[in-house]
Amino acid sequence: MRLLIRAFALVLFFSPALTVAQEFPVTITHKFGATIITEKPVRVVSLSYQGHDNFLALGVKPIALRYWYGSHERAVWPWAEEKLGDASPVVLRGEINIEQIAALNPDVIEAMWSGITKHEFKLLSRIAPVVPSLAGYNDYQMPWQEIAETTGTIVGKRLEAKSLIDAIYKRTKEIRATHPDWQNKTAAIAHHWGDSPGAFTSDDIRAQLLSSLGFKTPEIIDRSAGENGFFMSASAEDLSPLEADVLIWFGEGSSLKSIRGLPLRKAMKAHKEGREIFADTVLASALSHGSLLSLPFALEELIPLIELAIDGDPKTQVPSSVEAKIAP
């Protein structure tokens, strides 16, 4: 009897581990078919531009990661620095170089947000199992939650990934609860690319984060979306589509100068009422990365700024806008 109780206790003690442990092989079905990962991968190559963030969040250090942008030595942004520790993965720059990847001798190649073609998928699959974006999503349009969860599946940590996703959900829910005044207000994320201003549509990952806080994308932005669907171009001659209760400017490098130089911006209601937020390079990048590490970082940065902007009172100045010299 005692033995039985002991055995039972033992089972109880280990059962969480039993339920968490994920069985390999796993099969992941995706836009190019299905990929089988036979055993828990050790040498992970991350071809997604922000894929390394999710692996690092799960405690897995990729042996190679993809350079997106910015001037960080290891191509990793501040929110992921700590998790990377003193590891120095190979940084893959520019186009995908099949030979370079083959030489890394990977166990698995993650490529959900890399834009790889079917041809590249086939070539890479001869090196190691490859995970491209899931079926139903165009390049770079897979939602962050699914990317994060699938990343977990790849390394046998799906439940850990889910709990990290849930933590972000929990945080956005909290923010919604403590900010009832934000609900159903409009928020636009605007940018200045090339030589015209524009904004992200509600299909975009950045706008989706704001919608999880209760904000809506102004309808006119969605209506005038271009073919690619995730942004629209406005004209410097008419900035009215960008009017919103909160207007977040993505300004990186020389585009801040262009934003400042928009003559009609000063005539915008959002400007006069101090509703503009300037998302500097790091905050804009954190929102764009949409990863398990960057999103919590972005939320904490953004909340105090939104609080100051949404009141429609130009006297409560938004520090980031003051610093960027775009405040009223």
Partner 1 sequence: MIWTGERSHSPADKFQGRRKSRVLYLLFGIFLLALVLLASLAIGARTIALTEVLQALSAPDMANPAHIVVLELRLVRTLTGLVVGSALAISGALIQTVTQNGLADPGILGINSGASFAAVIGIWAFGLGGSTAIGWAALVGAGMATLAVLAISNLGGARGNPTHLILGGAAVVAILGALTSAILLNAQEDLNTFRFWVVGSLSAGGSSQSTHILALTPFFAAGIVCAVFAARGLNGLILGETVAQSLGITPARVRLVALIGVASLAGAATAAAGPIGFLGLVAPHLARAAVGVHVGWVMLMGAVIGPVVLLSADILGRIALGQGEIQVGIMMAALGGFVFVAVIRRMRVLNT
Contact between 196 and partner 1 by CB under 8 A: the answer reads: yes
Q: Which helix (H) or strand (E) holds 209?
A: helix 205-211
Decide: 99 and 50 in contact? Cβ < 8 Å: no
Tell me the HSE value of 263 on the side-chain side, using a 13 A CA sphere.
Answer: 1
**Per-residue x/- mask for partner 1, residues 116 to 145, rule CB under 8 A?**
------------------------------
Q: Contacts with partner 1 in 227-246 (CB under 8 A)? A: 233, 235-238
Minimum distance of partner 1 from residue 257's CB (angstroms)? 6
Query: Which token pair is 219?
Result: 């309808």
Alpha carbon distance, N-terminus to C-terminus of the chain = 78
CA distances, 105 to each of 102, 124, 284 (Å): 5, 11, 34
Minimum distance of partner 1 from residue 207's CB (angstroms)? 19
**Per-residue x/- mask for partner 1, residues 37 to 76, rule CB under 8 A?**
--------------------------------x-------
Tell me how many residues contact partner 1 (CB under 8 A): 26
Which among 170-178, 192-200, 293-301, 317-325 is the span making contact with partner 1, rule CB under 8 A? 192-200
Tell me the HSE value of 71 on the side-chain side, using a 13 A CA sphere.
Answer: 3
| Residue 299, C-beta contacts closer than 8 angstroms, at least 6 positions apart | 168, 171, 172, 175, 209
Closer CB to partner 1, 131 or 262, in the complex: 262
Closer CB to partner 1, 44 or 270, in the complex: 270
Minimum distance of partner 1 from residue 69's CB (angstroms)? 5
Minimum distance of partner 1 from residue 72's CB (angstroms)? 13
Decide: 289 and 46 in contact? Cβ < 8 Å: no
For the range 256-260, what are the long-range contacts, defined as Cβ-Cβ under 8 Å and sequence gap of 24 or more? 256/324, 256/326, 258/192, 258/195, 258/197, 259/192, 259/197, 259/326, 260/324, 260/325, 260/326
Closer CB to partner 1, 95 or 99, in the complex: 95
Distance CA 47, CA 57 (A): 16
Closer CB to partner 1, 67 or 159, in the complex: 67
Q: Contacts with partner 1 in 247-286 (CB under 8 A)? A: 253-255, 257-258, 260-264, 267
Closer CB to partner 1, 265 or 275, in the complex: 265
Decide: 272 and 328 in contact? Cβ < 8 Å: yes
Contact between 99 and partner 1 by CB under 8 A: the answer reads: no
Using alpha carbons, select from 151, 182, 167 the residue that is nearest to residue 310.
182
Closer CB to partner 1, 73 or 95, in the complex: 95
Closer CB to partner 1, 136 or 194, in the complex: 194
Q: From the centroid of its chain, how far is CA 216?
A: 19
Minimum distance of partner 1 from residue 323's CB (angstroms)? 19
Closer CB to partner 1, 141 or 224, in the complex: 224
CA distances, 140 to each of 4, 90, 205 (Å): 54, 23, 9
Interface contacts to partner 1, rule CB under 8 A:
69, 93-95, 193-196, 224, 226, 233, 235-238, 253-255, 257-258, 260-264, 267
